[in-house]
Structure 1
């Protein structure tokens, strides 16, 4: 039986921050992909710059999917640190739900994007660009807020587990 880690491993921390940057990139710079979808599903010509932006968005999304699968495997192999002592039970439960919802989104959102972009599924493309995008933003904002509560109110030092170890 392996001991419970007190922090995330360097590889887990690196994957977290790389994925955070890639996901934020795709969330913040998705306008050309929306434009691509309007043109593509409207049977209109797609300018080269819009096609390039759409390709970059797709490749970044595929990278997120691959990294998420690696990250999930590391989670099972290396384990994760326990919840901070004194964290109320309801917040431990909400934390677990949020983290597993993140993992679900890391997999389902790129798959929906792939279905829309490479396999002509308009429904998947719409879900990817609308509902899933909103869920991802909600998760990110609540995740950052939860870390802030831990750091500033409960003073658990939880941020250190995902930064310096």
Structure 2
């Protein structure tokens, strides 16, 4: 008996998506504390306990994102991804694929450049910092596209990332 192709994402895929999204949001909101701590170390000044805690958290959350993204890529290769929820213009499918692969690239490159900034050279910090505006733009496009599918096209795309379906 042939297995029916998946129409949605598995519970694991959905959990990974939202866990990574929340961790990235944390990084975007509190990542500046890392800069504060690094600058203070270079100047020989002290920082608040809150800034130190948030900088440490930034480091560990970044490592967590990298690990979860590696797992997410393995799961995607293993389980695949469902086809588009609706037949739309081909440019929309191409745009969706490009944006998803850009997310994967950023989710790997930003933590790696952060680690390189800490362990290899401060110059990687400048590259790492470019991740924040890139993430903000990509997240905005991603969220708007999901809302467009939900409320304009009404094809269930957003629901597939909220409710498991196999």
* Structure 2 length-normalised TM: 0.91
Instruction: Give the Å deviation of 1:2.
Output: 6.4
Instruction: Structure 1 unaligned segments of length 5 or more: list them.
Output: none
* Residue deviations 1:42-66 (CA, integer Å, cap 9, x gap): 3423436233221110000000000
Q: Name the residue aligned to 1:61.
A: 62
Aligned mates of 1:13, 1:70 — CA distance in 2: 13
Structure ranking higher on relative contact order (CA contacts 8 Å, 6+ apart): 2
Instruction: Give the Å deviation of 1:115.
Output: 1.1
Matched residues, number: 162
Instruction: Give the Å deviation of 1:158.
Output: 0.5
* Structure 1 length-normalised TM: 0.91
Contact 1:4-1:79 within 8 A present in 2 as well? no
Taking only aligned residues, the RMSD between alpha carbons, in angstroms, comes to 1.6
Asked if 1:14 is matched to 2:28, the reply is no
Aligned mates of 1:139, 1:152 — CA distance in 2: 20
* Residue deviations 1:3-55 (CA, integer Å, cap 9, x gap): 53111110000010111111001101122112123223x34234362332211
Instruction: Structure 2 unaligned segments of length 5 or more: list them.
Output: none
Aligned mates of 1:3, 1:101 — CA distance in 2: 29
